[in-house]
Structure 1
């Protein structure tokens, strides 16, 4: 069954959609909270648990938010008999992209991004000006990048039920960057 990567900028709705799918009994993993991602110093490789609050100037230039390939491989192996959804946004996605059968990108406009980051209570990322600026910078580029990859683009400003439906529908859409990548369904 497919391993679906659901990505988007901070505030695009990844965690909310993940939570709803998990409540419905789907295999849905939020990489931010379930130990898949970590902050890593770009030069030394030092891992830090959390960025300082507030984030000092230049911190995001020195540290990257990276996903563990080993954790994604383990999820892919464990989910051969059912669809699994992995939610996150990481700098080293290109190192794990070959593990995904489908990529979904949630997109939102800048005003929605600003409002969601300013008002959310589940995560403080984006409340500091440097983090907000980085999120806005990525937001300008994300849709084009993922369209070029052949990802399924989902409007994250739609009503939540429609976003969830679009994400689940996407699992049946193997993407062109991985011809023949869809894992076979085990025999019944």
Structure 2
């Protein structure tokens, strides 16, 4: 059994890749849903934390199946020891914003404030994700099927 954590900023394809991997029969968890993330208001904004109790329960329940988990949270690094691999998906900003504008499954990133948050994260968070990831996949000019093939090959 292998646990792969897929991270990246909004618009890089994490949810689409997870959906494709799930379609291929793999167990997948998108931490944006199901109570895996708790938002905490701070003076400088909102922090997004993985729910430690829920994550620990998930990780103990894996069994013999492969598991792909996706998310981008302020405390995800504390779980890196529990993952076999951390994979960063990234894309150039214009591609990210085009995908965000065209998606219908998630409204995040469509307001000016959210777009600014994405720009800020691209400048401040992306370099941290690049340093802490085992593998980086640039999704700018690659189909979701190809991204999923690359993720599947990591098992």
TM-score (norm 2): 0.89
- Structure 1 equivalent of residue 143 of structure 2: 159
Aligned position for 2:94:
111
Per the TM alignment, residue 38 of structure 1 is displaced from its structure 2 partner at its CA by: 2.4
Among candidates 129, 132, 135, match of residue 149 of structure 1: 132
Equivalent residue number for residue 68 of structure 1? 51
Go from structure 1 to structure 2 and tell me whether the alpha carbon gap of 1:150 and 1:27 turns closer, same or farther (over 3 Å shift): same
Tell me the alpha carbon deviations over residues 5-37 of structure 1, each in whole angstroms, 9 at most, x when there is no partner. Answer: 101001111111111111221011111122211
Q: Number of residues paired by the alignment?
A: 154
Distance 2:12 2:110 in 1: 15
Could you tell me which residue of structure 1 aligns to residue 14 of structure 2?
14
1:166-188 Cα shifts (integer Å, max 9, x gaps)? 112223xxxxxxxxxxxxxxxxx
After alignment, is 153-162 or 132-141 more displaced? 132-141
With over 3 angstroms needed to count, the CA separation of the structure-2 counterparts of 1:120 and 1:150, relative to structure 1, is closer
Quote the Cα distance in structure 2 between the aligned partners of 1:140 and 1:169. Answer: 30
Aligned runs of 1:32-43 on 2, under 5 Å? 32-42=32-42
Select the structure of larger CA radius of gyration: 1
Instruction: Give RMSD over aligned pairs.
Output: 1.8
Moved over 4 A (4+): none
User: Are the counterparts in 2 of residues 8 and 142 from structure 1 also a CA contact under 8 Å?
Assistant: no
> TM-score by structure 1 length?
0.74
CA distance in 1, matches of 2:30, 2:133: 22
